[in-house]
Amino acid sequence: MEALGINLGYLIVQILNFGVLFVVLRAWVYKPLLGQLDKRRQMVAQGLEDARVAGEARANAETEASKIITDAQIKANEVVREATDRAEAAAREVRNAADAEIARAREQSMGELQQERNVMLADLRSQVVTLAMAAAQKLIGDALTQDEKRQHQLLQEFFSGVRDGKLVVLDGHEISGAAAEITSALPLTPDEQEVIKHELLNDLSSGATVSFRVDPSILGGLIVRTGDRVIDGSVSGQLQTLRQSL
């Protein structure tokens, strides 16, 4: 060893010093450093795990929030739609009620006007009869107009179309159906209506109905409507036929 320039005692001391230094470093530096590094590694791993968990939680929270928002929007749309439907239904009910009320008022007004018109026309009928008889006396003379009762009867037949308890307009006609409408120039008296009903119901089907209306434009006579059939015995209809013939 000495030939090589190595001092054995010095070498042993160096080895011992190195061993002591190694033990000291390993015990006081290396192990604590490794522990710190391991602790740091665990902290980093835990941080990454926490970040992953937090990311998943955030994603789940966002998904849940999106679902809640979507559900809330759907519910809000349903509420708005239901409210709109209710509002429209209420508006329709109000409109229908208003239309019905207007229709009832109009119908009532028309009925009252019709009734007043019929009363006026009924009064006019008696006045027309009186004026016609007076005119006949002036035109024909007293000798031909002494039978005032007969004159009155003829004028009543002119407006009612009833002669000797029968409807003149039905002569030569056969009728059938479940309803009949009688149109006269002036309102018919209750007795005249009863005669007409009796005459018609003998020919109409069982349970048939008869209604009456007034139309001054036909001038006189009657128009009988049964189903699609019209029997025109009015003065205006006769004048129209005469006009066409000429």
Q: Which range scores top for mean pLDDT: 13-17, 165-169, 223-227?
A: 223-227
Q: Decide: 156 and 128 in contact? Cβ < 8 Å.
A: no
Pick from 197, 193, 195, 214: nearest CA to 120 = 214
Is the pLDDT reported for residue 137 higher than 60? no
Question: Each residue of 216-229: pLDDT tens digit?
Answer: 888 777 888 887 88
Does residue 128 or residue 52 have the better pLDDT? Answer: 52
pTM for the whole thing?
A: 0.44
Is the pLDDT reported for residue 25 higher than 50? yes
Given the DSSP bridges, would you call strands 179-184 and 209-214 parallel, antiparallel or unpaired?
Answer: parallel
Question: Any idea which of 23-27, 132-136, 205-209 has the lowest mean pLDDT?
Answer: 132-136
Cα 149 → chain centroid: 60
126 band by pLDDT with thresholds 50, 70 and 90:
low
What's the average model confidence in pLDDT over 106-122? Answer: 73
Pick from 71, 231, 104, 121: nearest CA to 167 = 231
What's the average model confidence in pLDDT over 187-205? Answer: 82
Output the pLDDT for position 144. Answer: 44
Cα 19 → chain centroid: 106
The DSSP string of 156-185 is HHHHH-EETTEEGGGTT----SSEEEEEES
What's the average model confidence in pLDDT over 49-66? Answer: 85
